[in-house]
Amino acid sequence: MKLKLQAAILLAFFFTATAANYSYARQFGTFASGGVLTANAAKYDVKYYELNLKVDPAQQNLSGYVDVLLESTVPAMDSLELDLVNFFTISKIEREGKPLAFMHQKHKIKAALAEKLAAGQRANFRVYYAGKPPVANRPPWEGGFNWSKDGNGKPWIGVSCQGEGGKIWWPCKDHPSDEPDSAGINITIPDSLYCATNGLLQAIVPAEKGWKTFQWKTRYPINNYNVSINIGDYAVVRRPYRGATGTMDITFYVLKADSAKGPALVAMAEEFLHFYAKYFGEYPWLKEKFGLAHTYYLGMEHQTINAYGNHFRNNQYGYDWLMLHEMGHEWWGNKVTVRDWADFWIHEGICSYAEALFLGDKFGPEAYHKYVKENLRRRIRNRQPIVPKRDATTSESYNDDIYAKAAVVLHTLRYFIGDSLLLDVLKTFATDPAYTYQNRVVSQDFIDLVNRKSGQDLSWFFQQYLYTAKPPTLEYKITSKPDASTELEIRWRDEGFRLPVEVRATVGDKISVKRVDVTSTWQRYQFSGNPKLEIDPAGWILMEAVEGK
């Protein structure tokens, strides 16, 4: 009875959350990822991680070891610092096979290095550990492990940890500023199950009786929360994708009971991939795969193995918005990654805006504007700036506005700099090596790019929209004059803000639209023929408009 009730509540939550939007207020408590990079963590650059873990569904337990190959970035690296939650017990840490004394407190591993590492010198550290990882309360918003079961009672296991970071299940440098160049993921599970994860499957090898090991490898940089394992009684549904520079498989690891629904979803994935490639450049991981793993929780952008738990439901336009959203993160979040969670909007906001672009591309400008108005604008909260502070944790930066408000900021930017320039900025941001793969970005990189491409200094625009909680306020008065003209007095209340505004003048069936300059001092414009005036009739501008009397 109790179980049934919990399931009902969970289901109700899922439906409200998915129907409205994907974002959800989250606080990650002591697990929050990112923030100020500690002095010890700043002393090295991770080159390679290799997970060698046994996942025991019956015990809900992980055990094994993780290799961390790192390179010193300081002249004498004298200490090792990694993150791993205290849920686990570490039995041993080795440096190149030799035991190392260590401490494990407050979710941090610390070890003094008697033999210091010179700048550029590499060393491999192996951490042996075991224990029960945190269980996800509200995945993916509050992450952790899901030890669920499919309809046939078989184990169905997943992990999501965007807010909490990889440290909730494996030792890593839990900071967005550092990604390894590649990673190995070797997972031992009962031999009746399948394990799908990032990159390409190298081999499935027998382990102890009744168990087998799935050996996977990705040869691309990957952020730690994107490393994810999906274990279940999966069928594998494939479809080839032909990109501009190569081919790969779209691969869906789907619960066997739902495998008949797989082909339609991978066909849709192919269409989405072509859409994204057109706007943001070729799929970033073409040498590996676009992967989908059927999950108990709604979704997450795990690189080359996107979590998919949207129950094969299409929206009113006939597409699966969840898959579209997660796939967008392969560009925005995975290929273009922020080095400070302060700039989280670059992942979520551009990805949300991409859905508006998709609607415009497929269904025309009306669908684009409808999405901005009815989906994005309604979710804006204005409780804190989109970029709250530097060195932010996921708890400090995650809220609805990094999705919806940031997307509307891009919509307003499009209005100001024009369609072709905005699309050029986005494509450059997603394809220039300075911003992608091994390089990570901050908001200022985006602002500098817009300034460079537009030949203008748009600091005033981003200061208002990214670094101020409130949108700009437009104040205007419309007065009919005895000489049959209409006067518009208009200004921005925000010092230095100077976005021009479209005004639609209607006299009978005669309509004209004029873009007028607006600054923080009052401007006056005259319209002859006593027209009816409408401010920003197309809804381009993110603002609060106040009509004076």
Q: How far apart are CA 278 and CA 423, in angstroms?
A: 10
Sign of the alpha-carbon dihedral angle for 61, 64, 69, 70: positive
CB of residue 338 to Zn ion, shortest distance in Å: 13
In eight-state DSSP terms, residue 64 is E
CB of 325 to Zn ion, least distance (A): 6
Q: How far is the CB of 290 from Zn ion (least distance, A)?
A: 16
* CB closest to Zn ion, residue no: 348
Q: Phi and psi at residue 503, in whole multiples of 5°?
A: -125, 125
Report the C-alpha gap between 285 and 250 in whole angstroms: 11
- Is the CB of 381 or the CB of 515 nearer to Zn ion? 381
Nearer to Zn ion, 179 or 355 (CB): 355
Q: Which is nearer to Zn ion, 23 or 198 (CB)?
A: 23
Quick check: 214 and 200 in contact, CB under 8 A? no
User: Which is closer to Zn ion, CB of 160 or CB of 464?
Assistant: 160
The side-by-side arrangement of strands in the sheet containing 108-117 is 77-83, 108-117, 103-105
Site residues (CB under 5 A) for Zn ion, limited to 324-363: 348
In the bound state with Zn ion, the residue whose beta carbon lies nearer, of 320 and 348, is 348
Measure the CA–CA gap between 291 and 279, rounded to whole angstroms.
20
Rounded distance, CA 80 to CA 70, Å? 10
Q: What is the DSSP letter of 324?
A: H
Nearer to Zn ion, 72 or 352 (CB): 352
Distance in Å, CB of 476 to Zn ion, minimum: 36
Kindly report the backbone phi and psi dihedral angles of residue 385, in degrees, each rounded to the nearest multiple of 5, phi listed first. Answer: -60, 150
Distance CA 284, CA 282 (A): 6
Pick between residue 43 and residue 440 the one whose CB is nearest to Zn ion. Answer: 440
Chain residues 100-139 in contact with Zn ion, contact rule CB under 5 A: none
Site string for Zn ion, 430-469 (x = CB under 5 A): ----------------------------------------
- State in angstroms the smallest separation of the CB of 351 from Zn ion: 5
- Cα separation, 161 vs 489, whole angstroms: 51
Kindly state the smallest distance separating residue 347's Cβ from Zn ion, in Å: 6
Angle between helices 404-417 and 443-454 (to 10 degrees): 10
185/322 with CB nearer Zn ion: 322
User: What's the number of CA atoms in the CB half-sphere (13 Å) around residue 462?
Assistant: 16
**Residue 283: CB minimum distance to Zn ion, A:** 17
Is the distance from CB of 48 to CB of 182 less than 8 angstroms? yes
Contact pattern for Zn ion over residues 225 through 264, marking x by CB under 5 A = ----------------------------------------
Residue 368, amino acid: Y
Cβ 348 to Zn ion, closest distance in Å?
Answer: 5
Q: Which residues bind Zn ion (CB under 5 A)?
A: 348
